[in-house]
Structures are given as structure tokens and as C-alpha cells.
Structure 1
């Protein structure tokens, strides 16, 4: 009887265990991955008011048969100069990271990924301090800039949850492999379209920031993203 109870407890723990995704076990739904350019308006919410603070353009492009480019361009209303541009290249079959660059008012960063390390540089534009990146990595991981795109193409289903190891580099905070989390998924409707409502968070902000994606079930387009950052609320709404 005792042995049976032990086995039952072990089985239950297994059943409720959180799945950990990595390039070895992830299976993106390739039929949804195609060349596209999408635009969104970025708002800050203040009570019942929405204040436009910028515009976001996201480009997804198959560079060749094996590589996928994910490029995000952000134009802030209060910073009319050069836009913020993040570019990530991943292997299209499993989102294994290959390259990530980030250029904005605060920093320039370039990362080149190999299986067991990340190399490149990080330039803090305020201090003009340049750090050379040479980080050894002992686990499977995704790039922190690519996991929101990865989520769109997963085989989504209700009440699915998962841990996602991601590499992020910030010399003044965390650097190395940390985690993002799919907390929960529900079905819903938005503007007459059936959507997956995907709630996520990550260790970049110590799980204090919650992002909720409203993803069109038929196209996997992100129609809306809500961000709750410790009481500060923002929303990105897709525009045609």
C-alpha cells in the first residue's frame, strides 16, 4: 500500500509539472510562419484615457530556408530622432538563437550566439562604457527578444503553461540564462475574432511585469498586447 501511495504521489507531481521549452523539444507550427510586416500603436493608460506614446513595426522574414529574422522598430513620440531597432535571427525550425542586435538611445548591443556561448559587446551610451560579452552557456535557451514571437507559433491550447529559458544581457542587472513564463492560456473574442489570450511574465523584471497577448486563432497575428508593470498599464493595438 505504501509503495502504491508513493507511486501515486510521483505520478501526480509529474502530471502537474510545468513544461520547460527549449530548442530541442519545441515544435513551432510552421504553417503560421511567413513573411509579414505589422504595425501597432503603443498607448499608456491613465484611468479611462489612452495616451499614444509611440508606434511599433514588426517584421518577420525568412532570410533563407533555415533562418528567420525578427525585427522590431519603435518610434517614440517624445524622441523623434532615430527609432529603436531590435533585430534577432533564429533558426526557423526550433528558434535556436543565432544573432541579436539592439540600437536605441540608451545602448548599442550586438550578440552572436553559439551553442555554448554568447559573444559580442554592450555599449552604455550615457557612460560610454563598452563591455565585451563572452558568456559561457551550459543549457538550452532562446534569445530574450525572440520568445514573444515564438509564443505565437506554439501549438497553443487552453490552460497551457510552460517555462522558457532565455538569454538576456544587461551589465547593470541580470545577464545570462533566466526564464520567461507562459502563465496561462484561455480562449476568447476580440473585435469579433476568436483569439488565444496568453498571459506571460519573465525574470527580466522579476516577474513583476505581466504581458497579455490576444492572438488571432486563424492567423496567429497579435491583435493586442496589454502590459501591467506594477500598476503602470500600457497597451499595443494592431493597426491595418
Structure 2
């Protein structure tokens, strides 16, 4: 998850920005009265975060946080939009009730993340050498088993959606199961990033990318990279 490839550095960041921006716009289109202002704020914050990771920051932990959240939040975000559609189109709920019901997948994923955040892994995929972070991808065979446990827990929600036999409900159910699978599957990544941030806090320093020179070259070759580099230096 955290591997940094200079060739795909911008692509990974802005593809996540595009996907989440579209989901936010879709949600505002379903319930504009309640969500238009929060969506505008969320898109602005997401844009700033994406630009900062792409063109400004040299802190590995900031980029890794963006990658982790964008990976874990995609399925719950899809579930949120689909539940919003179900509650508005099928259930005919009001705006506030629709948003409240649609937040349930986010709450479930957040609770699973909180459990995994408290869990400590014996092995970390993030190693510090000097002031740089080396990403060592671990074997995945055990991750699949634990991820399947998370998916199994999500399947317990099936009777809730069985009563609403629509394509929306199927997507919501699959998204919630996938959300739990992703959180459990990436539990080691969550633990590794937590450990890195704690190490930074203890030593009062910030670690950078192992291939920071390549990233600087990519930024320098981009017009936006040069613009934001100038503004960051002021």
C-alpha cells in the first residue's frame, strides 16, 4: 500500500481525489439541501490534502496517511452514496433521516478501524534508515484469512438488506462487507503507520521518502509543482 513509485506518484494521488470528489458530488446531488455545504467544504479539504501530498510535503507519514485513508474509505464512501439513494428513492425518507441512515456504513467502518488501530503488529512494513522510510511489503497469506473474518462479520448484516430487494441494496451490502475486509486485511499497514508516527513524535523529527530525489525531480518538471514549491517557500 505504501510503496512509492515515482512514475505513478501523481496518478495514485489524483485518481483518489477524482473518485472521492465524484462520490461527494453524487451525494450532494441526491440530497442537496442538507449536503451541499458539507460537500463543498469536503471537496476543498480533499483538494488541499491532495495538492499538499503531490507537490509540497516531503513527510512520508503525511503521504502514507493519505494513501491509507483513501484505500480504506472508498468502499464505505460508495456504501454511503448507495444507502443515500436507497433511503431517498426506495424508502422515501426525509433529508436528515436519509443522511443519518447513510452514515451507518461509515460508522461500521470507523469502528472496525478503531479496533484495528488499537491492535499492535509484531512486524512493520515501514523501516527507518537515517531520515528516510523504507517500505518492505510483507507476505499476504495471513492477511487474506483475517480479511475473510472481517468479510464474514459483514455478511451478518445480510438479513437487514434482504428485505429491500433492489440493486442499490446489493451494492450497499457488498460495499459494507468490502469495507470490513479492507480494514482487517490492512491491519498491519494501520499498525505500521501508527508506529512510524509515534517514532516521529518521540524523536521530534519527520522522516521523508526513500526516493525523495526522484519525487523532487517529478515535481520540478511539473508547472503546478514549481508554483506550489514557490508558494511553500514564502
TM range (shorter): under 0.3
**Higher RCO (C-alpha under 8 Å, 6+ residues apart):** 2
Name the one with the larger helix percent. Answer: 2
TM-score w.r.t. the length of structure 2 is 0.25
TM-score w.r.t. the length of structure 1 is 0.25
Name the one with the larger strand percent. Answer: 1
